[in-house]
Amino acid sequence: MPVILCGDFNDNPISYAHRTIAERLTDCYIASGNGPGISYHKSGMLVRIDHILCSSDFEPYGAKVDDRVGNSDHYPIFCRLKYRPKP
Protein backbone atom coordinates (compact mmCIF):
# COMPACT_ATOMS: atom_id res chain seq x y z
CA MET A 1 0.00 0.00 0.00
CA PRO A 2 1.43 3.43 -0.90
CA VAL A 3 2.21 5.53 2.18
CA ILE A 4 2.88 9.24 2.72
CA LEU A 5 3.55 10.21 6.33
CA CYS A 6 4.11 13.82 7.31
CA GLY A 7 3.96 15.95 10.40
CA ASP A 8 5.62 17.45 13.44
CA PHE A 9 7.48 14.51 15.02
CA ASN A 10 9.21 16.66 17.67
CA ASP A 11 12.30 14.58 16.90
CA ASN A 12 15.32 15.23 14.71
CA PRO A 13 16.44 12.98 11.83
CA ILE A 14 18.97 11.10 14.01
CA SER A 15 16.50 10.27 16.79
CA TYR A 16 15.49 6.70 17.58
CA ALA A 17 11.84 7.34 16.62
CA HIS A 18 12.76 8.80 13.23
CA ARG A 19 15.28 6.05 12.46
CA THR A 20 12.74 3.37 13.37
CA ILE A 21 10.01 4.86 11.16
CA ALA A 22 12.47 5.53 8.32
CA GLU A 23 13.59 1.89 8.19
CA ARG A 24 10.71 1.24 5.79
CA LEU A 25 10.07 4.75 4.51
CA THR A 26 12.17 7.33 2.67
CA ASP A 27 12.86 10.66 4.37
CA CYS A 28 11.97 13.01 1.52
CA TYR A 29 14.18 15.85 2.74
CA ILE A 30 17.24 13.62 3.03
CA ALA A 31 16.50 12.15 -0.41
CA SER A 32 15.90 15.42 -2.25
CA GLY A 33 16.53 18.49 -0.09
CA ASN A 34 19.60 20.70 0.35
CA GLY A 35 21.11 22.08 3.53
CA PRO A 36 20.07 21.46 7.13
CA GLY A 37 16.34 21.88 6.47
CA ILE A 38 15.62 23.81 9.66
CA SER A 39 11.88 23.66 10.30
CA TYR A 40 11.81 24.72 13.98
CA HIS A 41 13.37 28.06 14.91
CA LYS A 42 12.35 29.08 18.43
CA SER A 43 14.46 29.86 21.52
CA GLY A 44 17.76 29.38 19.70
CA MET A 45 16.87 25.83 18.65
CA LEU A 46 17.40 25.42 14.93
CA VAL A 47 16.44 21.85 13.99
CA ARG A 48 14.35 19.83 11.57
CA ILE A 49 11.59 18.18 13.59
CA ASP A 50 8.94 18.30 10.84
CA HIS A 51 9.17 15.47 8.35
CA ILE A 52 7.76 14.01 5.16
CA LEU A 53 8.33 10.30 4.62
CA CYS A 54 7.07 8.07 1.82
CA SER A 55 7.06 4.46 0.73
CA SER A 56 9.04 3.26 -2.28
CA ASP A 57 5.92 3.80 -4.41
CA PHE A 58 6.99 7.45 -4.63
CA GLU A 59 10.07 9.28 -5.84
CA PRO A 60 10.63 12.46 -3.82
CA TYR A 61 12.14 15.51 -5.46
CA GLY A 62 12.57 19.18 -4.66
CA ALA A 63 12.11 19.08 -0.88
CA LYS A 64 12.35 22.55 0.67
CA VAL A 65 11.68 24.47 3.84
CA ASP A 66 9.91 27.80 3.35
CA ASP A 67 11.67 30.08 5.81
CA ARG A 68 9.69 33.14 4.70
CA VAL A 69 6.77 32.27 6.99
CA GLY A 70 7.23 34.28 10.17
CA ASN A 71 4.00 33.82 12.12
CA SER A 72 4.83 30.38 13.55
CA ASP A 73 7.70 28.71 15.37
CA HIS A 74 7.75 26.12 12.57
CA TYR A 75 8.56 26.69 8.92
CA PRO A 76 6.53 24.61 6.45
CA ILE A 77 8.37 21.81 4.70
CA PHE A 78 7.17 20.55 1.34
CA CYS A 79 8.22 18.07 -1.32
CA ARG A 80 7.03 16.89 -4.69
CA LEU A 81 6.37 13.18 -5.03
CA LYS A 82 6.25 11.25 -8.28
CA TYR A 83 4.01 8.20 -8.03
CA ARG A 84 5.71 5.06 -9.37
CA PRO A 85 3.20 2.22 -9.05
CA LYS A 86 4.67 -1.21 -8.65
CA PRO A 87 3.82 -3.74 -11.38
In this predicted model, what pLDDT tens digit does every residue of 33-72 receive, in sequence order? 999 999 999 888 899 999 999 999 999 999 999 999 888 9
In this predicted model, what pLDDT tens digit does every residue of 16-38 receive, in sequence order? 999 998 899 999 999 999 999 99
Supply the pTM of this predicted model. 0.89
Per domain, the residue ranges of the chain are 4-83
Note the pLDDT of residue 58.
97
Separation of alpha carbons 31 and 71, rounded Å: 28
Q: Is 10 left (phi over 0), alpha (psi -120 to 50) or beta?
A: left
Q: With beta carbons less than 8 A apart as the criterion, state whether 56 and 26 touch.
A: yes
Note the pLDDT of residue 15.
94
In this predicted model, what pLDDT tens digit does every residue of 51-61 receive, in sequence order? 999 999 999 99
